[in-house]
Structure 1
Amino acid sequence: MIRLGCDYNYEQWSADVWREDMALMRTAGIDLVAINVFGWSSVQPRPGVFDFTALDEIVGLLHDNEIKINMGTGTSSPPPWLTHRHPEVLPVTADGTTRFPGGRQAWCPSSPVFRDHALALVDEMARRYGNHPAVDLWHISNELGCHNALCYCENSAAAFREWLARKYETVEKLNEAWGTAFWSQRYSDFAEVGPPRLTLSARNPAQLVDFQRFSSDALLDHYRAEAEVLRRHSAVPVTTNFMVTAHIRNLDYWSWAPEMDVIANDHYLDHRLEDPVAELSFAADLTRGLAKGRPWMLMEQATGAVNWQPYNVAKEPGQLLRNSLTHVARGADALCFFQWRASAQGTEKFHSAIVPHAGTDTDLWREVLELSATVDRLADVAGTTVEADTALIFSWESWWATDTEARPSQDVTYLDQVHHAYRGLRDLGVTTDVVAPGADLSRYRTVVVPCLHMVSDAEAAAITDFVRAGGNAVVTFYSGIVDQDDRVRLGGYPGAFRELLGVVTEEFQPLLPGQEIPLHGGGKATVWTERLRLTTAEPILAYAQSPLKDVPAVTRNSYGAGQAWYVATHLDHADLRTVLRDAVGATAEPGELEVVRRGQFRFVINHGAKPVEHPVTGHELVTGDHVDGSLLVPAGAVRVVRLGEAS
């Protein structure tokens, strides 16, 4: 079955509301509830004093109502007594100032004091609930690193030095990796190294990348410490909620994923983006990549508006169902919401919920009931996998290295380029796996490599070998430029991919904001251009205006049994889509339908304002109708067809 769940912050409500909520949860078909996510100060009100009275009652109520529990360890935010007695656990920002309690995640990931107190709480939780029949999943902390991923305090500085010593072994190797001959930064001892706090100038970019790596590892180490305590007392699966989303970049989830018993993600539409719905699809595909193609769970989404964007836009009628089933189409076997009941107080009081402030006589509640009924009809989809013959390579390390302080153009940002390429594929109806650099590519026909600025020799070889063996690759600008130490690959750009692409770029020529260069045959280049010459490639598009007149902007190179395309400028959506169409061999025309095949099921999602016909035969699960050759999908609707002969 596809599970339907939510966060329940019972500590915000009285006991009479708890009993009302149990009945409403049964009505809504809720079968998995996350509790105790922010429960530390409730279950441990004072040092050494634990009070599980309320939590015990909630566990009992959920169990009596046959609702399973996603049990939080409660360590996501420390109680006031801990930071009052031990202010040294508080995080410090890059400017050297301390961040204080009053929000959430007011703790340093490298603090031994915080770690000791957190693990003591986890031990109490695991002993008490580890074998309870209602507990179905352990939920460590919450959105680790959302606010406190980068801490620059003395505890973090000491831990960073230890991490560097393990990685480089000698300070001479560190100096080589960081290029410390520049600006007289050479170290004579690891004791001289600190975190990259703010300076009067731009900071060492290799140091910045290593600090990102260290910070991701530090929080992963905390996750492992909590998981070890849980597994000592409980056989229940353990996970935490990732934040595969447009505004969180500090954790390298490729290194985290193998540690999870279940891959879980939180996702909220971000209306600061050009196309929030396309980003939802990308995030779902990336989460599936972290799950190695297997089903995953959506730990959090919103029924309507969130509370943390400049403009918190409510969902349109039908959008709750469309968004939710897009996640299912792309591999989710669980749909959970933050939160069950909208808070009356606190920072998130205007965040939407399953039960809004207006109660259950609302369109929102009725949409939740519609979703619940629809999910029940999709039970057979659970456990199936998504089919894709195109991959897109995504790298958190390249994100860190691309968006550094000193770069050729501040308008070139990694995630924007990734989203740009992904949106072109999605518009063409191409279902895409998102994979890590160095992944096995042998099962794909085409691989898209957007802005892979930082790439190791082995990761570059995986792409080159794929093309040599007969695959197609599309590489976009600012790729292959530096190695894993952020060292420029000499001899001309695009560095690691020169031979594969059959081009050499002598010089980057970024464009100023608003500047455009026309292309032969129409279209325009913006943001970025290169002074590029061909070695073995052929030109596909060229600039039509000086100073780059007739210089290739898009090229194609035969390499081994395959072909490699290079997009050396920023194309608009339509032009990039055309390049991707030719490279991928896509036949679908851009439209409002999003079509994804998962196992024997085809999801057809109409994002448009008009009904659309889609050719398919089989049994449609949402309406129960049989389809023989053509399916009419109403405006804003979702249809799910079990493929086969219609009866």
Structure 2
Amino acid sequence: MRRRTTPDSFDATAVRPWNAQLDGLGFGGDYNPEQWPTEVRDEDVRLMREAGVNLLSVAIFSWATLEPREGELDWTWLDETMDSLHAAGIQVALATATASPPPWLTRRHPEILPRLADGTVLHQGGRQSYAVTHPVHRDYALRMTARMAERYGDHPALALWHVDNEIGCHVPRDYSDAAAQAFREWLRTRYGTVEALNEAWATAFWSQRYGAFDDVLPPLTVPAFINPGQQLDFDRFSSDALLDYYRDLRDTLRELTPHVPTTTNLMTTSATKGMDYFSWADDLDVVANDHYTIAADAERHVELALSADLARGVAHGDPWILMEHSTSAVNWQPRNRTKAPGEMLRNSLQHVARGADSVMFFQWRQSRAGAEKYHSAMVPHAGTDTDVWRGTVELGRTLRALGEVRGSRVAARAALVVDYPAWWAAELDSHPTQDLRYMDEVRSWYTALWEQGVTVDTVTPDADLDAYDLVVVPTLYLVDDAGAANLARAAERGATVAITFFSGIVDTHDHVRLGGYPGAFRDLLGLRTEEFYPLQADETVRVTGKAVGGDATADLWTEKTHAHDGTEVVAAYDDGALAGHAAVTRRAVGPGAAWYVGTRLDRAGRDALVGRLVEESGVAPDVVAPAGVEVVRRRSADGATTWLFALNHTGVDATLAGVAGTELIENAAVAGELAVPAGAVRVVRQG
């Protein structure tokens, strides 16, 4: 992959804050004025003022409008838009306009189109119809990016650059010829010699040994199982290739506008597997994230919390931007549910509670045509005499009332380890079970902590864990020696570390760590598993022990585990092939403890076990809330002031005891008890 590099003279400290011209929190969304006539645009500005909008993403999908024919540029509508927004006091996250190449480009250069593993070409007519590794597309995208920077780099409305859009959303893996060539170059850099590649991929198996890097292909559709090392490295390469594309466009912007911050909108959800966002973090001047709740998910508010915590984890705890979510229904799910009264505001403030300093939507005005015409917006098809518009105005007022939380950080003493390479590797084929889904395991443990009222930071295995008293490690199938040692040190320091099944099994090349499972964690946990016993789809076993609430049910996974001296069996299988064998163990490690959960417990058993972990580690929340009421605390830089967010996700009024301070949304004093009406949010300044 060829790419530009940031100039040696670039001074990161000279980049201005993205919200330097904002007063308080950001509020707005995607704005697509090219879809509308002048009179509608004029009305837009008036309504934006009414709602309190102060930040908009503009020109995301505008390449074909700005350059309808190659070399013919029409800036008129965008000039007018930038000027009118500036006059209204609205800042702009201006896009590079490269998110979808214009039809003339793909017609002249069909070689830039991406491909699936079976050779299917993904044609023009949707969006993201480009191969990020193709030099022709890269040159055109860089040229367009430079044009945007040259024209608007000094415009007073420009707050930050929005690079491309949701990079990798529709094409996380490209198998085109350009991608194949870039993959080979990536492998040469990673391994140096083809002999090292053969060793990493274990190519002695099935006569796959390579004589030259030129013989290597992406993991295309094949007659049998694809080499797992090849698949894993292609996942790594693909994430790097997408990041490289972002970097190239960003560095073009930096050359021309070194003072303007840059970002791109990530998608840290439990469904977005393609990009290792933790590896992207240091290349973003501010982390931005898109999130949409899933209508069919009865606990979508918990998934939202996990997504927000992932965004904050990628941001190293710094405040971040919610770049997109929806006011109501989306258009791309099988059944697109309308949000209930109060749900949009509650969703928005959940993100703020968990670190967002800006709340934005797709989009400002609902499109009258096109693929997303039934996707909700801040201004709906029915206009301003609607609950959606009234909710938009109410949210704007609420965010202005919460402006003082800007810049504060979320306080957490528990950590949840999330690792994208482990996710990729855990779901490779030819495993003991094909039913294991990594993010399902992450979410199940996150949910149990959420229900205990415990705020968690999402971290990688090699993160600094000194601030955490509880570290939960779900299904860390792949881990390097440094990451395993880092987790062991956390327990040795005094933390409670809980590791779940199918963890520590392989090294970074997907080579099994020999000598018994769980490989990298055998010594820490004081046990050895000799064989996995995955369960069939309708098969369950009983697990007994106080740690799991007395009796629990387990499914999916069991294993024949032998505990060493000094390791306590706190729950065992009560029936099945492994009756009497350890299911859950605990080992004292200096002042800390290392727990192992060798099966997938039912919800009641997992909840009981998490309750034990929370009690042992001392991370229980300082404010106890009824079930379904979420409490999160943001803290000022000096720690003198905190803001307690209470979000009631139930249909019943709730009261929190032991809360005193000033409630900001209603501007009322709180002296001992905080009332949180059904479906409502309250934010209390304390200290």
Structure 1 length-normalised TM: 0.98
Partner of residue 273, structure 2: 249
The 3-state SS of whatever aligns with 1:629 is strand
Partner of residue 83, structure 1: 106
Query: Are 2:625 and 2:631, in contact at CA under 8 Å, matched by a contact in 1?
Result: no
Cα deviation 1:334-376 (Å, max 9, x = unaligned): 0000000111111111101001111110011111111111111
1:524 to 528, 543, 553: 553
1:467 has 2:491 as partner: yes
- 1:446 is aligned with what amino acid? L
Offset at residue 218 of structure 1 (A): 0.9
In structure 2, what is the Cα distance between the partners aligned to 1:478 and 1:546?
Answer: 20
Partner of residue 153, structure 1: 176
Mapping of 1:246-645 within 5 angstroms?
Answer: 246-273=270-297, 275-520=299-544, 521-535=550-564, 536-585=566-615, 587=620, 588=624, 591-599=627-635, 600-615=642-657, 616-644=659-687
The 3-state SS of whatever aligns with 1:596 is strand
Query: Are 2:527 and 2:563, in contact at CA under 8 Å, matched by a contact in 1?
Result: yes
In structure 2, what is the Cα distance between the partners aligned to 1:346 and 1:183?
Answer: 49
2:192 to 169, 190, 193: 169
Partner of residue 207, structure 1: 230
Partner of residue 53, structure 2: 30
The 3-state SS of whatever aligns with 1:70 is strand
- 1:477 is aligned with what amino acid? F
In structure 1, what is the Cα distance between the partners aligned to 2:344 and 2:570?
Answer: 42
1:60 has 2:83 as partner: yes
Query: Are 1:474 and 1:580, in contact at CA under 8 Å, matched by a contact in 2?
Result: no
Query: Are 1:469 and 1:562, in contact at CA under 8 Å, matched by a contact in 2?
Result: yes
In structure 2, what is the Cα distance between the partners aligned to 1:312 and 1:537?
Answer: 50
The 3-state SS of whatever aligns with 1:47 is coil
In structure 1, what is the Cα distance between the partners aligned to 2:149 and 2:275?
Answer: 26
- 4+ aligned runs moved over 4 Å, structure 1: 586-590
Query: Are 2:473 and 2:499, in contact at CA under 8 Å, matched by a contact in 1?
Result: yes
Query: Are 2:551 and 2:605, in contact at CA under 8 Å, matched by a contact in 1?
Result: no
Offset at residue 514 of structure 1 (A): 2.0
Offset at residue 417 of structure 1 (A): 0.3
Cα gap change, 1:411/1:577 in structure 2, threshold over 3 Å: closer, same or farther?
Answer: same
- 2:555 is aligned with what amino acid? T
Query: Are 2:114 and 2:131, in contact at CA under 8 Å, matched by a contact in 1?
Result: yes
- 1:608 is aligned with what amino acid? T
Offset at residue 540 of structure 1 (A): 1.2
In structure 1, what is the Cα distance between the partners aligned to 2:603 and 2:337?
Answer: 25
- 1:567 is aligned with what amino acid? V
Unpaired runs of at least 5, structure 1: none
Number of equivalences: 644
Offset at residue 35 of structure 1 (A): 0.7
Query: Are 2:414 and 2:454, in contact at CA under 8 Å, matched by a contact in 1?
Result: yes
CA-based RMSD: 1.1
In structure 2, what is the Cα distance between the partners aligned to 1:116 and 1:430?
Answer: 48
Mapping of 1:40-59 within 5 angstroms?
Answer: 40-59=63-82
Query: Are 2:643 and 2:685, in contact at CA under 8 Å, matched by a contact in 1?
Result: yes
Query: Are 2:60 and 2:95, in contact at CA under 8 Å, matched by a contact in 1?
Result: yes
Offset at residue 464 of structure 1 (A): 0.6
Offset at residue 271 of structure 1 (A): 3.1
Partner of residue 122, structure 2: 99
In structure 2, what is the Cα distance between the partners aligned to 1:22 and 1:424?
Answer: 45
In structure 2, what is the Cα distance between the partners aligned to 1:572 and 1:632?
Answer: 33
In structure 2, what is the Cα distance between the partners aligned to 1:71 and 1:513?
Answer: 50
Cα deviation 1:291-325 (Å, max 9, x = unaligned): 11111010000001111111111111111111111
Partner of residue 8, structure 2: none
Offset at residue 560 of structure 1 (A): 2.5
In structure 2, what is the Cα distance between the partners aligned to 1:23 and 1:158?
Answer: 51
Offset at residue 591 of structure 1 (A): 0.9
Cα gap change, 1:580/1:560 in structure 2, threshold over 3 Å: closer, same or farther?
Answer: same
Query: Are 1:342 and 1:352, in contact at CA under 8 Å, matched by a contact in 2?
Result: yes
Query: Are 1:527 and 1:570, in contact at CA under 8 Å, matched by a contact in 2?
Result: yes
The 3-state SS of whatever aligns with 2:447 is helix
Offset at residue 643 of structure 1 (A): 1.4
Unpaired runs of at least 5, structure 2: 1-23, 545-549, 636-641
Cα gap change, 1:412/1:54 in structure 2, threshold over 3 Å: closer, same or farther?
Answer: same
Offset at residue 131 of structure 1 (A): 0.8
Query: Are 1:492 and 1:505, in contact at CA under 8 Å, matched by a contact in 2?
Result: yes
In structure 2, what is the Cα distance between the partners aligned to 1:332 and 1:369?
Answer: 19
The 3-state SS of whatever aligns with 1:519 is strand
- 1:621 is aligned with what amino acid? L
- 1:593 is aligned with what amino acid? V
Offset at residue 468 of structure 1 (A): 1.2
- 1:532 is aligned with what amino acid? T
Cα gap change, 1:589/1:70 in structure 2, threshold over 3 Å: closer, same or farther?
Answer: closer
Offset at residue 273 of structure 1 (A): 4.1
Offset at residue 149 of structure 1 (A): 2.1
Offset at residue 220 of structure 1 (A): 1.0
Offset at residue 541 of structure 1 (A): 1.3
- 2:269 is aligned with what amino acid? T
Offset at residue 272 of structure 1 (A): 4.5
Cα deviation 1:588-634 (Å, max 9, x = unaligned): 57711100010111001111111111021111111111111111111
Cα deviation 1:24-60 (Å, max 9, x = unaligned): 0110111001110000001111111111011111111
In structure 2, what is the Cα distance between the partners aligned to 1:418 and 1:31?
Answer: 36
In structure 1, what is the Cα distance between the partners aligned to 2:157 and 2:576?
Answer: 70
In structure 2, what is the Cα distance between the partners aligned to 1:272 and 1:108?
Answer: 33
Offset at residue 247 of structure 1 (A): 2.1
Query: Are 1:480 and 1:494, in contact at CA under 8 Å, matched by a contact in 2?
Result: yes
Offset at residue 477 of structure 1 (A): 0.7
Mapping of 1:157-236 within 5 angstroms?
Answer: 157-234=180-257, 235-236=259-260
Query: Are 2:559 and 2:598, in contact at CA under 8 Å, matched by a contact in 1?
Result: yes
Cα deviation 1:221-258 (Å, max 9, x = unaligned): 11111111111111211110001112221111111110
In structure 2, what is the Cα distance between the partners aligned to 1:546 and 1:244?
Answer: 39
